[in-house]
């Protein structure tokens, strides 16, 4: 019963490097999303997807790219890492965007990223 799986758990990058945070879910959820969590800022939505082939920007999309080629996977790409992208990143999924009877969001364990 894996749920939402994120890799890597920890990563240190140098400014200007690129990398991809991986996210996979095994619940056949249509909706997937990426959040970043910073002290005092709560959870801020970066990008989201309502199904394979469909992605959209959230609240803080600059510096990040996403793609959704399959229902299961939703990778987040940092194009040219900056110290301001030092954060904890959470991938999440749910059966639908928003609410319906019994719907909720399931989060991964998080990826700690430090950009030096």
Residues at the site binding another protein, with contacts judged by CB under 8 A: 4, 33, 40-43, 45, 48, 58, 90, 92, 96-100, 103-110
* Rounded Cα gap, residues 64 and 54, in angstroms: 16
**Closer residue to another protein (CB): 17 or 97:** 97
**Closer residue to another protein (CB): 17 or 35:** 35
**Tokens found for residue 68:** 């959704």
Chain center to CA of 51:
14
**Closer residue to another protein (CB): 5 or 17:** 5
CB of 35 to another protein, least distance (A): 8
**Closer residue to another protein (CB): 41 or 54:** 41
CB of 27 to another protein, least distance (A): 14
Closest listed residue to residue 87, CA positions, set 23, 44, 29, 50? 44
CB of 52 to another protein, least distance (A): 18
Under 8 Å between Cβ of 79 and 64 = yes
CA-to-CA dists, residue 20 to 3, 8, 65, 96, 106, angstroms:
20, 9, 9, 25, 21
CB of 10 to another protein, least distance (A): 11
């Amino acid at each position: 019963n894996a749920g939402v799986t994120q890799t890597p758990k920890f990563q240190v990058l140098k400014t200007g490097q690129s990398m991809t945070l991986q996210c996979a879910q095994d619940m056949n959820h249509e909706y997937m999303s990426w959040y970043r969590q910073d002290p005092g800022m709560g959870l801020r939505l970066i990008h989201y997807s309502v199904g394979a082939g469909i992605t959209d920007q959230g609240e803080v999309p600059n510096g990040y790219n996403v793609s959704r080629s399959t229902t299961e996977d939703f990778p987040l790409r940092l194009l040219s890492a900056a110290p301001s992208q030092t954060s904890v990143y959470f991938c999440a999924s749910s059966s639908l965007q928003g609410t319906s009877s019994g719907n909720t969001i399931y989060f991964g364990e998080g990826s700690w990223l430090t950009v030096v």
